[in-house]
Amino acid sequence: MNYLILLAPAAAILALLLTGLLRRYAIARSIIDVPTERSSHSVPTPRGGGVGIVLSFLVMLPLLSMWDIISNNILWGFFGAGSLVALIGFLDDHGHIAARWRLLGHFSAAAWILYWFGGFPSINIFGMTIYLSWLGHLLAAFFLVWMLNLYNFMDGIDGLASVEAVSSCLSASFIYWLVGYSDLAGMPVILSMSVLGFLFWNFPPARIFMGDAGSGFLGIILAGFSIQAAWHDTNLLWIWLILLGVFIVDATLTLFRRFISGCKVYEAHRSHAYQFASRKVGSHLPVTFSILAINIFWLLPIALCVALLGLNGLIGLLVAYVPLVFLAFKYHAGESELSASSR
């Protein structure tokens, strides 16, 4: 993995510089997030800095392919899907795209990445190999679209989406190295370094926000990593789902509870557990660091048990998620602010 010695710092530096330029661009064009009653920030802040992550990562992909680190199928799958999702997000950051057109673009990106990957592989559950055929491909498409949208939902306080991407990518890369799939670690390491360059500007208190271009891009790329890994070993799919557990649980439970309570799930809100937690402590930084600690000291050890100690992946997932569900309920995920404050 000597190539990473060159590409990883280059990705971080490129993202750092690009994000600084994008901040100037956003200020000049008045691309600013102005606080509202549904915001988790209190100061007008430029948005769209996630384009720096996008460009930094995509520039590195052809180099990984040129050095035979990734195949052409993987290159085109990630490059095409990531570019389309980022473009949709960029246009939405600059104006507004109707939800139906965004979803059409998102499913097109999901179909693209699945086409180049060969669809969704068979998976092993309790020793049984299950191939879901077209149903598996369809479920994988919904998974990709859900992941890119939930990442957008979870990008609501300073540094959170960045810290989640960096910690999950580096954790997965560490596990890849331990179990003999070190060649798979290239893209997650490059992505983590691209995000790290952006995080310099996004660390609390943020000087620029990621925007839909960056958050949607991260969501579909991370989901793509999990499907790519599943083609090598089913356990690696479970490992990615475990490592991304905080985001998956908070976003999914919040959406479900809002749906059953009759709320319009597509409307902006601030009823995620992490948003309630940040208002309770009065700051973004403690929440972001707390989730980083959960990722490192809870989710990573469970993922290591699946990878190295033979813990069944599905059981590992359930063990990982139970406390996360408890925390989500504790911090009122999906409840209205009025009902939560009355308790």
CA 155 centroid distance within chain: 9
Instruction: Report the C-alpha gap between 285 and 332 in whole angstroms.
Output: 19
What is the per-residue DSSP string for 121-135?
A: --EEETTEEE--HHH
pLDDT over threshold 60, residue 341: no
- Phi then psi for residue 48, to 5 deg, are 100, 5
Q: For 137-167, what is each residue's pLDDT tens digit?
A: 999 999 999 999 999 999 989 999 999 999 9
Mean pLDDT of 97-122: 94
CA 224 centroid distance within chain: 10
Mean pLDDT of 302-328: 96
SS3 state at 33 = strand
Mean pLDDT of 259-274: 82
Q: For 198-217, what is each residue's pLDDT tens digit?
A: 999 999 889 999 999 999 99
Instruction: Report the C-alpha gap between 195 and 192 in whole angstroms.
Output: 5
Instruction: Report the C-alpha gap between 232 and 174 in whole angstroms.
Output: 16
State which residues form the domain around 262.
3-341
Confidence of residue 1 (pLDDT cuts 50, 70, 90): low
Instruction: Report the C-alpha gap between 15 and 195 in whole angstroms.
Output: 7
Please confirm whether the linkage preceding 205 is cis (ω < 30° from 0).
yes
The pLDDT of residue 85: 97
Mean pLDDT of 165-175: 98
Number of structural domains (the chain) is 1
Contacts of 2 (CB under 8 A, 6+ apart): none
Containing H/E element for 117? helix 99-117
Contact yes or no for 161/215 (Cβ under 8 A) = yes
pLDDT over threshold 80, residue 336: no
Containing H/E element for 165? helix 160-179
DSSP letter assigned to residue 284: S
Q: Is 202 annotated as a binding residue?
A: no
What is the per-residue DSSP string for 218-268?
A: HHHHHHHHHHHHHTT-HHHHHHHHHHTHHHHHHHHHHHHHHHHTT--TTS-
pLDDT over threshold 90, residue 125: no
Q: Is 183 annotated as a binding residue?
A: no
Of 79, 133, 140, the C-alpha closest to 110 is: 140
Choice among 42-46, 222-226, 307-311, 335-339 with the minimum mean pLDDT: 335-339
Instruction: Report the C-alpha gap between 199 and 288 in whole angstroms.
Output: 12
Confidence of residue 98 (pLDDT cuts 50, 70, 90): confident
